């Protein structure tokens, strides 16, 4: 019972981080109609810059990393994706894969064989509640994740940008006819998604989260958020949040009860199972394509 | 017609989709202050293309303005992006309503009001709710769940939220029952009497000519007939073509408000005449 509780807290912490990444996927998909396979490289670029700034203190390093990821996302959208607006969606997906390879390889080249950890002040600290031991890092992740998710949901529901964003996701032309500036809204969406990826890496690349620091392994870890977005429903913000937690908890339980090396497979198995039953994900709209 | 300068003037407009032949072929249209202008024509005549050209959305359909100009208050609209055109005051309620189905009625109206300065939004909203009490009753419902008539009201209401200086309506009667069509006609009159000029694109010529001051009839991308609404309503050619009269060919029966799809428009041919051959 204590194990289960402990797993649940730690899994929820990971889940919150996956939810931030999945939200990024969903926001970009809704704004652009493209699945952004360069998301992992945003994570890695943010992590790399945060690592470079790490002797300035964690706060400065964190802000630098988050901004890097956000600006890189805007750069990808403005310079590459926006110019090929009318391209085939498959071509745009390949474009994001191309960006992903370039950024990831560049970071890997700069780091050579290093896989440096980011070390927030709470790294490797634990809290004990009776028999339960919880990593502080997971609690901070959970708290940060919940605050950001709440803020985003409020942003979507109550602000002009959120309204524009949702209107445009549903019907780009009708939104433009209502004065929504498509280009600005889309760029803002990529910015937000990039910033979230930058926040996520501040947890992903710590010793608490995994055995890998800023490296290709973290890039792979970011890809685990992809099933989170898919199983929640690619066009559902709420689905991304649920999907993130499903993935985090699945990983934690599978690692404990089945085997550590099975955790990632379990995540993708859950995704496949959901897709077989609900092809558009748990909360996705049935017709994702615009008519 | 009197000689007051028009608020919106379209001069010698030529548009096309892709590399096909022109859909609009040297079209001129002037909207005088405070009037309703009806644009009649059957499927494929280029009516929606005209509104897309004005609103700047031709590009979203693979089309473009090839020559000519569209001017509003001294501004060349044909050089602006769709959002800028709306912000300049030319607001369109598009064909097929295109409400945001997953958003509530309230939210749809809020999107319409995004370009309106914040202090004036609630006044806009009150005006829309006065005009369409149904929308007030349904404000928390998803727009996708409304009936066709209610969606049309929402589409018009959403456009009104942007405080249009010229309102463009693309086939507001499409797919509606006769009673509702009359109601839409009255609403157009009310909106106009509150001071907003309206460009009313319609296949339902009877309703359109009842509410309009001026009218043009497009045929295969050209202005075939133009004049005051009364002149057109009295003309034998219009009666024959659009009002279901008995003047020889009977295509363009105004009872038939079938789907006016992109495809049909791009072929540049009226669909209805095809049925009668």
Identify the three-state secondary structure at position B202. strand
Query: Would you list which residues of chain B are within 8 Å, Cβ to Cβ, of chain A?
Result: 55-57, 60, 81-83, 86-87, 91-92, 94, 98-103, 107, 110-112, 114-115, 158-159, 162
Choose among A164, A166, A178: nearest Cβ to B86.
A178
Interface test with B, best of A163, A177, A239 (most B CBs within 10 A): A177
What is the model's pTM? Answer: 0.86
CB contact under 8 A, B83 and A285: no
Q: Tell me how far apart the alpha carbons of residues A67 and A60 are, in angstroms, rounded to a whole number.
A: 11
Closest residue by Cα to residue B51 from B100, B88, B13: B13
Q: Tell me how far apart the alpha carbons of residues A49 and A214 are, in angstroms, rounded to a whole number.
A: 10
pLDDT for B5-16, tens place per residue? 899 999 999 999
**Which positions ≥6 away from A6 have C-beta within 8 Å?**
A132, A133, A134
pLDDT band, residue B245 (cuts 50/70/90):
low
Identify the three-state secondary structure at position A120. coil
DSSP state of B57: -
CB contact under 8 A, B87 and A179: yes
Measured between beta carbons, the chain B residues lying within 8 angstroms of A170 are 100-103
Element (DSSP H or E) covering residue B218: strand B214-219
Residue A57 tokens read as: 């203190």
pLDDT at A53 over 90: yes
**Which positions ≥6 away from B171 have C-beta within 8 Å?**
B47, B48, B95, B96, B201, B202, B203, B257, B260
Closest residue by Cα to residue B113 from A154, A179, A34, A22: A179
Closest residue by Cα to residue A24 from A14, A13, A36: A36
pLDDT for A117-173, tens place per residue? 998 998 889 888 888 888 899 999 999 999 999 999 999 999 999 999 999 999 999
What's the pLDDT score for residue A287? Answer: 52
Interface test with B, best of A178, A283, A290 (most B CBs within 10 A): A178
What's the pLDDT score for residue B31? Answer: 96
B242 contacts B256 by C-beta, under 8 angstroms: no
DSSP state of A279: T
Return mean pLDDT, chain B.
87
What's the pLDDT score for residue A223? Answer: 83
Percent of residues, chain B, with pLDDT higher than 90: 74
Identify the three-state secondary structure at position B20. coil
Chain B residue with minimum CA distance to A170: B100
SS3 content of chain B, % helix, strand, coil (to 5): 40, 25, 35
pLDDT band, residue A99 (cuts 50/70/90):
very high
Q: How many CB atoms lie within 10 A of CB B217?
A: 25
Measured between beta carbons, the chain A residues lying within 8 angstroms of B142 are none
Chain A residue with minimum CA distance to B61: A173
DSSP state of B142: B
Residue A53 tokens read as: 């700034």
pLDDT for A32-49, tens place per residue? 888 899 999 999 999 999
Q: Tell me how far apart the alpha carbons of residues A130 and B133 are, in angstroms, rounded to a whole number.
A: 61
Element (DSSP H or E) covering residue B262: helix B262-266
Chain B residue with minimum CA distance to A291: B98
pLDDT band, residue A175 (cuts 50/70/90):
very high
pLDDT for B85-94, tens place per residue? 999 999 999 9
Element (DSSP H or E) covering residue A220: helix A216-223
pLDDT at B25 over 60: yes
SS (HEC) of A69-109: HHHHHHHHHHHHHHHHCCCCHHHHHHHHHHHHHHHHHHHHH
Q: Within 13 Å and on the Cβ side, how many CA atoms surround B91?
A: 26
**CA A62 to each of CA A14, A73, A136, A152, A245: distance values in angstroms, whole numbers, following the listed order:** 18, 17, 17, 20, 23
Closest residue by Cα to residue B93 from B35, B32, B158: B158
Element (DSSP H or E) covering residue B273: helix B271-276
pLDDT band, residue A224 (cuts 50/70/90):
confident
Identify the three-state secondary structure at position B111. helix
CB contact under 8 A, A173 and B99: no
| A256 close to B (CB below 8 A) | no
Chain B residue with minimum CA distance to A288: B102
Chain A residue with minimum CA distance to B113: A178
Choose among B94, B103, B162: nearest Cβ to A167.
B103
CB contact under 8 A, A170 and B103: yes
DSSP state of B212: -
Sheet holding B214-219, edge to edge: B90-93, B166-170, B198-202, B36-40, B214-219, B222-228
Largest CA distance in chain B: 57
Find the range with the poorest average confidence among A205-209, B105-109, B170-174.
A205-209
Query: Which residues of A, range 168-197, sit inside 8 Å of B by Cβ?
Result: 170-182
């Amino acid at each position: 019972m204590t194990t289960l509780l402990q797993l649940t807290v730690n899994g929820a912490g990971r889940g919150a981080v996956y939810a931030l990444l999945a939200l990024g996927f969903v926001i970009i998909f809704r704004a652009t109609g493209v699945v952004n396979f360069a998301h992992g490289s945003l994570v890695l670029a943010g992590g790399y810059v945060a690592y470079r700034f790490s002797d300035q203190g964690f706060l400065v390093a964190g802000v630098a990393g988050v901004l890097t990821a956000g600006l890189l996302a805007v750069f990808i959208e403005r310079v590459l994706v926006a110019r090929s607006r009318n391209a085939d969606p498959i071509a745009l997906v390949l474009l994001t894969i191309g960006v992903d390879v370039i950024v990831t390889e560049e970071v890997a080249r700069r780091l050579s064989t290093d896989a440096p950890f980011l070390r927030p002040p709470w790294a490797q600290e634990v809290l004990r509640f009776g028999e339960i031991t919880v990593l502080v890092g997971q609690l901070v992740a959970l708290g940060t994740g919940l605050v950001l998710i709440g803020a985003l949901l409020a942003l979507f529901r109550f602000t002009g940008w959120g309204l524009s964003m949702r209107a445009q996701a549903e019907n780009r032309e009708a939104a433009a006819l209502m004065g929504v500036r498509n280009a600005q809204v889309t760029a803002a969406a990529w910015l937000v998604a990039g910033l979230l990826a930058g926040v996520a890496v501040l947890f992903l690349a710590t010793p608490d989260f995994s055995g890998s620091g800023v490296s290709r392994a973290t890039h792979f870890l970011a890809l685990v958020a992809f099933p989170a977005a898919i199983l929640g429903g690619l066009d559902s913000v709420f689905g991304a949040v649920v999907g993130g937690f499903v993935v985090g908890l699945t990983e934690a339980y599978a690692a404990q009860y089945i085997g550590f090396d099975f955790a990632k497979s379990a995540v993708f198995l859950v995704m496949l199972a959901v897709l077989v039953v609900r092809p558009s994900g748990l909360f996705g709209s049935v017709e994702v394509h615009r008519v | 017609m009197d000689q007051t300068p028009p608020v919106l003037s379209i001069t010698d407009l030529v548009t096309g989709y892709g590399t096909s032949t022109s859909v609009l072929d040297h079209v001129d249209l002037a909207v005088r202050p405070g009037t309703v202008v009806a644009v009649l024509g059957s499927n494929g005549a280029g009516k929606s293309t005209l509104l897309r050209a004005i609103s700047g959305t031709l590009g979203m359909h693979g089309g473009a303005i090839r020559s000519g100009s569209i001017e509003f208050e001294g501004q060349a609209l044909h050089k602006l992006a769709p959002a800028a055109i709306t912000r300049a005051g030319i607001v369109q309620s598009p064909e097929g309503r295109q409400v945001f189905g997953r958003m509530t009625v309230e939210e749809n109206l809020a999107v319409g009001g995004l370009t309106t300065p914040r202090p004036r939004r609630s006044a806009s909203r009150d005006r829309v709710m006065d005009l369409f009490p149904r929308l007030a009753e349904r404000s928390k419902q998803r727009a996708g769940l409304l009936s066709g008539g209610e969606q049309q009201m929402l589409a018009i209401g959403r456009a009104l939220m942007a405080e249009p200086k010229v309102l463009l309506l693309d086939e507001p009667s499409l797919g509606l029952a006769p009673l509702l069509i009359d109601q839409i006609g009255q609403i157009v009159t009310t909106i106009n009497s509150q001071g907003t000029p309206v460009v009313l694109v319609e296949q339902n010529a009877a309703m359109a000519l009842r509410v309009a001051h001026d009218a043009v009839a497009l045929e295969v991308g050209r202005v075939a007939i133009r004049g005051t609404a009364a002149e057109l309503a009295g003309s034998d050619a219009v009666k024959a073509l659009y009002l279901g009269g008995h003047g020889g060919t009977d295509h363009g029966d105004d009872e038939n408000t079938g789907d006016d799809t992109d495809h049909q428009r791009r072929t540049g041919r009226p669909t209805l005449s095809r049925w009668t051959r």
